[in-house]
Amino acid sequence: MAGKKQEKQEKHKLFSEELINEKDIIAPASIKINPSDGEIGEILTKTYFIFSYPRYLNTGWLSPIINLDIPLDVSFFFHPIETETVLKQLRRKVTEVQAELTERDEKGLISDPALETAHSDLEELRQSLQTAQEKMFKFGLYITVYAKDKKELIQIETTLRSILESRLIYIKPALYQQKEGLISTFPYGMDSLDIHTTLNTSPLSSIFPFISFDLSSNDGILFGINKHNNSLVLFDRFSLENANMVIFAKSGSGKSYAVKLEVLRSLMVGIDCIIMDPENEYKTLAEASGGSFYNISLGSDSHINPFDLPEVKEGEDPEDVLRSNIINLVGLMRVMLNGLSPEEDAIMDRALAETYAARDITPESDPANWQQNIPVLGDLETVLEGMEGAEMLTQKIRKFTKGTFSEFFNNKSNVNMANGLTVFGIRDIEDELRPIAMFIVMRYIWNEVRTTLKKRILIIDEAWWMMQNEDGASFLFGLCKRGRKYWLGVTTITQDVSDFMKSSYGKPIITNSSLQLLLKQSPAGIDLLQDTFMLTDQEKMLLLEVPVGEGIFFAGQKHVAIRVVASYTEDQIITTNPEEIKKRENN
């Protein structure tokens, strides 16, 4: 009776236990250990140990192994040895070698270079240990590789041997010790393999750090995670010869998400950001970060005067400042009036100079009084009306000084860039006026940048709108080329690679940008992109297949595969995913 009761209790206990726990979730389906390899589920594994090193080890000798495009685990084990114990052994060894050298000398034998080198190395090591410049360690280095089948495992072993043996470093598989090898390379911190080589501090230091394709520095912001080795892509764009950046990506690949992350993180380190926003998608970011958002449209209350002038700084020639501004204005007029003939170009140049002069803005006048006398587009119309041969130009300019367009184009500026983040939204302006509006806004930004020197990033989204017109493209290139003198980094973003590269300024803008970010691409433009950035076929395929938020990041001569990552708080601020936004509104 008691036996039945106990059996019933055991059955009840069995059924009350959890059928699946956390170990069952993370554990592989099976593990099989063979004499020369192992099997974790359907994946083959094999562990190797290094048993022989050359006399000298170069810094970063492990780099080619770490950078192999194969899954592997590497573990180091350092077991310190008491210096006193080592010194006793060295004294004995030095005595033996010295005795052998003396004996050869007495017998009149020729010198043995290997023996003399050994004696010199032993003496040098003994002296370094006695002065505490070096320490001795028993060192174990184990490598576990993973493959889909035996053939791939053999190829990996051949690669490992060729890389290491070219450096006179030799490996062996842990035969009949594959279980111990796996445990030693798993993150247990257990040296179960226990196969060591005695090394002193100097050669051991050649192993650190893991030299890999990375872009990590002490300063800067986090751009993402290096997909190759999970290191941080931490970089200061202002540390390069210029702080310009180009971003090419197809729609929906995460380029705006990456840019917003950079903006947020740049603001945290005191860098001002200015954004040309074609879809008003940065408005939420501006509101969340205490920035300013200006809606640039025909019915907007925000106005920018094309005739605005930068303040003349000490050491600058007022005549040069005024002349440069007039040249840029002529370019703007070409965009606004759909081109100018050579005669019209000359008339417009003279008319602009006279418009400023009518307001006492000349090379001879006091630059301190310029800002309060700035003309507007209507003043240019008045000047043109009184000029011979300017009848057609007067008719064209009236489109912007009277009627529907005048509210935006013929007013004094009432915006400012005092906040750390300033966003100019141009979504609501007509497509035909968008390149003009972008040109005007960029001229205003450039004047502000020249006036006050501080770290700034100017982000121009959908830059191909500017590239449609030669004068707009020329002005954008001028910003990229001259920006570094004023601590300005220009970020040029586009999803239409072919349209961007059609312009004669497309390639120069890229070559004048020290940073480039390439996210997922469409097959239609990938060949052009490959030629422009000299990508390998593997990198080309990578850009066609990567998921959203991943790509290749170039900084100077280095480039890495990158994954853009954000914290939960950052994601809540910058996401444009409709599902996420709807969920947030419902909560």
Q: Which CATH number is 570's domain given?
A: 3.40.50.300
Number of domain units in the chain: 3
Three-state SS annotation for 188-218: CCCCCCCCCEEEEHHHHHCCCCCCCCCCECC
Mapping DSSP to helix (H, G, I), strand (E, B) and coil, where does residue 56 land? coil
Buried b (16+ CB within 10 A) or exposed e, 36-73: ebbebeeebbbbbbbeebeeebeeebbbbbbeeeeebb
Q: Which of 366, 389, 412 is the last residue of a domain?
A: 412
Q: Do 343 and 392 touch, CB atoms closer than 8 A?
A: no
Q: What is the pLDDT of residue 581?
A: 62
Does residue 508 share a domain with residue 485?
yes
Residue closest to 260 by CA, chosen among 480, 509, 560, 564: 564
Residue closest to 371 by CA, chosen among 355, 383, 353, 359: 359
Report the alpha-carbon distance of residue 177 to residue 270 in Å, rounded.
55
Does residue 442 share a domain with residue 344?
no
Packed helices 83-106 and 113-130: angle between N→C axes, nearest 10 degrees: 150
Report the alpha-carbon distance of residue 539 to residue 552 in Å, rounded.
8
Burial group, residue 476, by CB count within 10 angstroms (0-12, 13-18, 19+): buried
Q: What is the pLDDT of residues 465-498, one digit of tens each?
A: 778 778 788 888 888 888 888 899 999 998 878 7
Q: Which of 205, 232, 258 is the last residue of a domain?
A: 205
Digits of tens for pLDDT over the chain (587 positions)? 556 666 666 655 655 555 667 777 778 888 999 999 999 988 999 999 999 998 788 877 888 888 787 889 999 999 998 888 888 887 888 888 788 888 777 777 777 787 778 778 778 877 887 777 788 889 999 999 999 999 999 999 999 999 999 989 999 999 999 999 999 999 888 999 999 998 888 888 888 655 555 666 677 888 998 887 777 888 888 988 889 999 998 888 888 899 999 999 999 999 999 999 888 889 889 988 889 999 988 888 888 898 988 888 877 888 888 998 899 899 889 888 888 888 988 999 999 999 999 999 998 888 888 888 899 999 999 999 888 888 888 888 888 888 778 888 888 988 888 888 999 998 888 888 888 888 888 888 888 888 888 899 999 988 877 787 787 888 888 888 888 888 999 999 988 787 788 888 888 898 889 899 999 988 888 888 888 888 888 888 889 888 989 999 988 777 888 999 998 888 888 876 666 666 656 65
Does residue 250 share a domain with residue 394?
no
Does residue 333 share a domain with residue 284?
no
Packed helices 342-358 and 318-336: angle between N→C axes, nearest 10 degrees: 130
Q: What is the pLDDT of residue 50?
A: 94
Domain assignment present for residue 20? The answer is no
Q: Do 348 and 340 touch, CB atoms closer than 8 A?
A: yes
Structure tokens given for 230: 């999970």
Domain assignment present for residue 317? The answer is yes
Q: What is the pLDDT of residue 38?
A: 93
Strand partners, 494: 248
Mapping DSSP to helix (H, G, I), strand (E, B) and coil, where does residue 376 land? coil
Does residue 435 share a domain with residue 334?
no
Does residue 144 share a domain with residue 47?
yes
* Structural domain harbouring 344: 305-412
Does residue 436 share a domain with residue 287?
yes
Mapping DSSP to helix (H, G, I), strand (E, B) and coil, where does residue 305 land? coil
Report the alpha-carbon distance of residue 118 to residue 55 in Å, rounded.
10
Q: Do 381 and 397 touch, CB atoms closer than 8 A?
A: yes
Does residue 346 share a domain with residue 251?
no
Q: Do 490 and 458 touch, CB atoms closer than 8 A?
A: yes
Domain assignment present for residue 340? The answer is yes
Domain assignment present for residue 334? The answer is yes
Does residue 288 share a domain with residue 314?
no
- Other Cβ atoms less than 10 A from the Cβ of 86: the count is 19
DSSP for residue 566: -
Q: What is the pLDDT of residue 213?
A: 57
Domain assignment present for residue 350? The answer is yes
Q: Is the pTM of this model over 0.85?
A: no
Structure tokens given for 422: 């300033």
Q: How far apart are the first and last CA of the chain?
A: 60
Domain assignment present for residue 18? The answer is no
Q: What is the pLDDT of residues 99-135, one digit of tens each?
A: 888 877 777 777 778 777 877 877 887 788 777 778 8
Residue closest to 283 by CA, chosen among 495, 573, 581: 573
Report the alpha-carbon distance of residue 342 to residue 340 in Å, rounded.
6
Does residue 250 share a domain with residue 331?
no
Q: What is the pLDDT of residue 540?
A: 87
Strand partners, 140: 77
Domain assignment present for residue 9? The answer is no
Mapping DSSP to helix (H, G, I), strand (E, B) and coil, where does residue 483 land? helix
Provide the CATH number for the domain around residue 382.
1.10.8.730
Domain assignment present for residue 355? The answer is yes
Does residue 442 share a domain with residue 389?
no
Q: Which of 391, 412, 433 is the last residue of a domain?
A: 412
Does residue 269 share a domain with residue 128?
no
Burial group, residue 128, by CB count within 10 angstroms (0-12, 13-18, 19+): middle
